Amino acid sequence: MLKDGKIAAVGGEITEQDARVVEAKGLIAAPGLVDMHVHLRDPGQTHKEDIYSGCRAAAAGGVTSLLAMPNTSPTTDCAEVVSDILYRAQSADAHVYVAAAITKGLKSEEPTDLRTLRGAGAIALSDDGRPVENTRLLAEAMVLGSSLGMRVVAHCEDLYLAKGGLMNEGVVSEKLGIQGIPAAAEDCGTAREIALAESYNVPVHICHVSTATSAAMIRDAKKRGVHVTAETAPHYFALTEVQLLRRDADYRMNPPLRTEKDRLAIIEALRDGSIDAIATDHAPHTPQEKSDFHSSPNGSIGMETSLAAGITALVKTGILTLSELLAKMTYIPAKILGIPAGSLQIGAPADVVLFDENEEWNVDPAKLHGKSRNTPFKGMRLTGRVKMTVCGGRIVYENWENEI
C-alpha cells in the first residue's frame, strides 16, 4: 500500500475507503528504475528535450529517479543553474538529481566550486559529454568530491585518439570509408581514471563502458580492491557496429557501437558483476539534427526502452535473472549515488513500476513520450512492457493496452 508518498505496507488487506486498488495480477511490481546517466538538455537546448518532457519519457519507461548530466547551456557549473534545475523539477514526473560540472564550461581549464555546488544540491560530478583533459583537475575533484559525498562519474575518452571519428574503428568503418574511433580512445581514459582512484584511494564511476578491454580493466581493478564502479547502456549489450551499415545517424553515439566481441564482453561483465549498473545515456536530438549521417551530433534516447531491452537481451536469453537485471537498474545505481531509491521496503519512497515481463511490443518512435525520436531500437520487437509508474505516490504513467 502506498500512502503519503511512502510505501506504507506490503501485503495484507487494504482498509482505506478512498484508496485506488490496482489489479496487477500477472504483473511484476518493482522499485522505480534509477537511470544514472541522462541528458535532459535543460537549460538551453529545450528544442531537443526539457525537464518535463524528459521525465515524461522516464515515467513511460518505469524510471522514477535520474541523474541529469551537466552539458547544458549554460553549463551546470554554478549554484544558480543547479538550483534552477532542482526547483523546476519538483513538479516533473521523476525525481531529478544533478551531476554538476567538474570544470567551468566543461573546458578542463578552471575548476568549479565543488562545495558551493554541493550546497546547491548537486550529488555527483562529471564533465560528461567530454572527458576532463586536465588530469590534475580530475584528481582534485575525485579527492574533494569524495569528502563531500559526490561521486565523480567519468566520461573516459582520449580526445586525441578519437578526433574526427564518427563510429567504431574497424571493419565496418573501413567498408564505409569513414574515419573511426579506436577502442583505445575509451580504454586509455578508463585506465587513467582507475589509476587515479587506486593512487588516491577514492571512488570513481566509469560511464557508458563499451569495450572488452575497459571491461577487463574494471574487473581487474575490482579484484585489487580499487573503489571503481561502472555502467553500460542497453545499446552496448544489444547492438553492434553492423547497424552503422544503414548510414543512419540514430545509431551514432559516443562511445560508438562496437564489435560483437565487445558486445559479448560487456554481457559477461554484467553477468559477473564487473559492470555494476545499466544506464541509458539518454541523449535527445531532433530529427533535423539527426538527418545527416556525417554531420549529426552523437547520441540516442533510451529511457523508454531500457527495461524492455534488458529483459529481451539479458533475461529472456538466460544471461541474468529478472532480479539481477532489476538490481542493476534500481538499488545498485541508487547505492552508488547515495540517493533514497531502489527499494520497496516499508517507509521507502513510493516509487514503483508495474510491468508485464512477457508482453511483446514494437518500438515505434512516433509513440514515444519525449521530444526526440532518435532511438537505436526503432522497429525492433522487445519483450517487457511498463503498465504503470508511480513516483512519490503519484501515478505518472499508465498504459493498460496490450499490443498485438
Known catalytic residues are 281
DSSP string, 222-255: HHTT--EEEEE-HHHHH--GGGGGG--GGG--SS
> Are 192 and 154 contacting, i.e. CB atoms less than 8 angstroms apart?
no
CA distances from 262 to 46, 119, 139, 292 (A): 34, 40, 29, 27
Grid cell, residue 143, equals 579527492
Q: Where are the alpha helices (DSSP H) in 73-207?
A: 79-88, 114-120, 135-148, 159-162, 171-176, 183-200
Residues 56, 347: Cα–Cα separation, whole Å:
25
Q: Count Cβ atoms within 10 A of the Cβ of residue 109 and give its class: 0-12 exposed, 13-18 middle, 19 or more buried.
A: exposed
Residue located via cell numbers 536530438 = 285
Residues 263, 399: Cα–Cα separation, whole Å:
32
Q: At what angle do helices 212-223 and 183-200 cross, to 10 degrees?
A: 10
Query: CA 175, 179, 183: angle at the middle one, nearest 5?
Result: 95
Q: Nearest Cα to 127, choosing from 70, 80, 85, 72? A: 70
Q: Nearest Cα to 279, choosing from 35, 99, 32? A: 35
Q: How far apart are the first and last CA of the chain?
A: 32
Q: State phi, psi for 37 to the nearest 5 degrees.
A: -155, 95
Residues 40, 33: Cα–Cα separation, whole Å:
17
> Are 139 and 114 contacting, i.e. CB atoms less than 8 angstroms apart?
no
